[in-house]
C-alpha cells in the first residue's frame, strides 16, 4: 500500500518563476490496485510519479510504502518496493549488456550485487521461459546486446524485468508514448496481466484516453497539482469514453 500524505512540491521556490507542481495532495493506493492517472501537461502527473519513485523529494508531506516511511529515501533505496518502466524505452535497459545480463540485474533489484557469478544454466532457463511467454521470439536471443532490439521489444522486456524480483509497486510513466500501436497493446496487456496475476499495485500515467478507459480499476485526474476527480472501480466502470473526453473539454 502507498500512502501519500499532504505532499507538496515546489520548483524554484521564492523566485519569480516559482512553480507549484503538486499542491497538498493526499492519496491512498491500496494493494493490488491498478490506478490510472490522467491530466493535461503540467498537471503534476510526472512529478507525482517521480515523488513516489524517489527521483524527486517532496517539499513537504510524507510518503509511506507498506507502512514504512520512505519520504527521505533516494531512488536506489526505494527500488526495494518499486519497479519502473520509463517513457523512453532506452531508459529501462542497458544497451551494451546482453538481454540475459539485463535480466540478471533486474533479478537482483532488491538484493546485493555480489562478486560471484550469478548467471548459470538454471537462471538462463528461467529467463528464456519468461521471455517466451511474450511470443516475440526473443528467447533465443538472450545473449545479444539489448541495444539490438526495437523500442517496443525493449519496453516489453523492461516490464518483464520488473517482476524478476519481489515487486510491490509498478510505476508506468507513459510507457507506450514512444511505441507503435501494436507494441503498445502488447505492453499494456502485459501490465494488466501482471497486475491481475501477481496482484502488483500498478500506477499508469497516460495521455491516451482510450487506455485510461480500458485499463485499471481506479482513475484519477490531476489538474494544477491537485486531484480533480477520483473514480473508484464502480464509478470508473460506469464511465463511457466520451465522459472522460469531456473532462478535458
Partner 1 sequence: MSQFYLTALQLSICLGPMALGIFITMKIFNIPDITTDGSYTLGAVVAAVLLSNHWPVMVVLPLCMIAGSLAGICTALIHTKLKIDALLAGILVMTGLYSVNLIILGRSNVPLINIHSIFNTLSIFKNEIYNKLFVALLIIIVLIFLLRYLLLTDFGIAMRATGNNPIMTKSMGINNDIIKIIGLAIANGLTALSGFLVAQYQSFADINMGIGIVITGLGSVLIADALRIWLNVSNIGLQILFVLAGSFIFQLVLAFSLAMGIDPNYLKLVTALFVLFIVALPRVSSQLKRAN
Closest approach of partner 1 to the CB of residue 231, in Å: 29
Tell me the C-alpha distance between 241 and 249, whole Å.
13
Closest approach of partner 1 to the CB of residue 104, in Å: 6
Is residue 174 a contact residue for partner 1 (CB under 8 A)? Answer: no
Closest approach of partner 1 to the CB of residue 49, in Å: 12
- DSSP line for 172-230: EESTTTTS-HHHHHHHHHHHHHHHHHH--EEEEE-S-HHHHHHS-SEEEEEETTEEEEE
Is residue 154 a contact residue for partner 1 (CB under 8 A)? Answer: no
Tell me the C-alpha distance between 104 and 94, whole Å.
12
Q: Which residues pair with 83 in a beta bridge?
A: 170
Integer CA distances (angstroms), 233 to 50, 193, 228, in order = 25, 17, 17
Is residue 79 a contact residue for partner 1 (CB under 8 A)? Answer: yes
Binds partner 1 by CB under 8 A, chosen from 45, 80, 218, 236: 80
Dihedral angle, C-alpha 219, 134, 199, 175, nearest 10 °: -30
Kindly write out the interface string for residues 21-60 of this chain, putting x where it contacts partner 1 by CB under 8 A and - elsewhere.
--------------------------------x-------
Query: What's the chain's length in residues?
Result: 249
Stretch that binds partner 1, among 15-23, 72-80, 194-202, 214-222 (CB under 8 A): 72-80
User: Is residue 23 a contact partner of residue 225, using CB atoms and an 8 Å limit?
Assistant: yes
Is residue 76 a contact residue for partner 1 (CB under 8 A)? Answer: yes
Tell me the C-alpha distance between 154 and 99, whole Å.
9
Is residue 105 a contact residue for partner 1 (CB under 8 A)? Answer: yes
Integer CA distances (angstroms), 37 to 89, 159, 214, 244, in order = 20, 18, 13, 12
Whichever of 119 and 185 has its CB closer to partner 1, that residue is 119
Is residue 90 a contact residue for partner 1 (CB under 8 A)? Answer: yes
Stretch that binds partner 1, among 19-27, 43-51, 89-97, 203-211 (CB under 8 A): 89-97
Binds partner 1 by CB under 8 A, chosen from 118, 135, 199, 242: 118
Whichever of 146 and 188 has its CB closer to partner 1, that residue is 146
Tell me the C-alpha distance between 64 and 4, whole Å.
7
Instruction: Give the residues lining the site for partner 1 (CB under 8 A).
Output: 53, 75-77, 79-80, 82-84, 86, 90-98, 101-102, 104-106, 108-111, 113-119, 145
Amino acid at each position: 500500500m502507498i500512502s501519500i500524505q499532504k505532499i507538496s512540491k515546489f520548483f524554484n521556490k521564492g523566485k519569480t518563476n516559482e512553480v507549484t507542481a503538486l499542491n497538498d495532495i493526499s492519496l491512498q493506493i491500496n494493494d493490488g490496485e491498478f490506478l490510472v492517472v490522467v491530466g493535461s501537461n503540467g498537471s503534476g502527473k510526472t512529478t507525482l510519479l517521480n515523488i513516489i519513485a524517489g527521483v524527486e523529494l517532496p517539499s513537504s508531506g510524507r510518503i509511506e510504502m507498506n507502512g514504512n516511511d520512505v519520504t527521505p529515501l533516494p531512488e536506489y533505496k526505494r527500488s526495494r518496493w518499486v519497479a519502473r518502466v520509463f517513457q523512453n524505452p532506452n531508459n529501462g535497459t542497458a544497451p551494451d549488456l546482453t538481454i540475459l545480463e539485463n535480466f540478471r540485474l533486474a533479478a537482483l533489484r532488491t538484493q546485493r550485487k555480489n562478486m560471484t557469478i550469478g548467471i548459470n544454466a538454471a537462471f538462463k532457463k528461467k529467463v528464456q521461459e519468461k521471455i517466451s511467454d511474450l511470443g516475440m521470439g526473443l528467447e533465443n536471443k538472450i545473449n545479444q546486446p539489448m541495444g539490438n532490439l526495437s523500442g517496443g521489444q525493449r519496453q516489453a522486456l523492461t516490464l518483464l524485468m520488473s517482476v524478476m524480483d519481489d515487486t510491490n509497486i509498478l510505476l508506468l510513466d507513459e510507457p507506450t508514448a514512444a511505441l507503435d500501436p501494436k507494441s503498445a497493446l502488447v505492453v499494456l496487456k502485459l501490465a494488466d496481466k501482471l497486475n491481475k496475476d501477481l496482484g502488483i499495485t500498478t500506477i499508469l500515467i497516460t495521455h491516451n484516453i482510450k487506455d485510461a478507459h480500458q485499463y485499471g480499476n481506479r482513475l484519477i485526474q490531476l489538474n494544477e497539482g491537485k486531484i480533480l476527480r477520483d473514480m473508484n472501480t464502480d464509478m470508473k466502470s460506469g464511465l463511457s469514453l466520451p465522459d472522460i473526453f469531456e473532462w478535458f473539454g
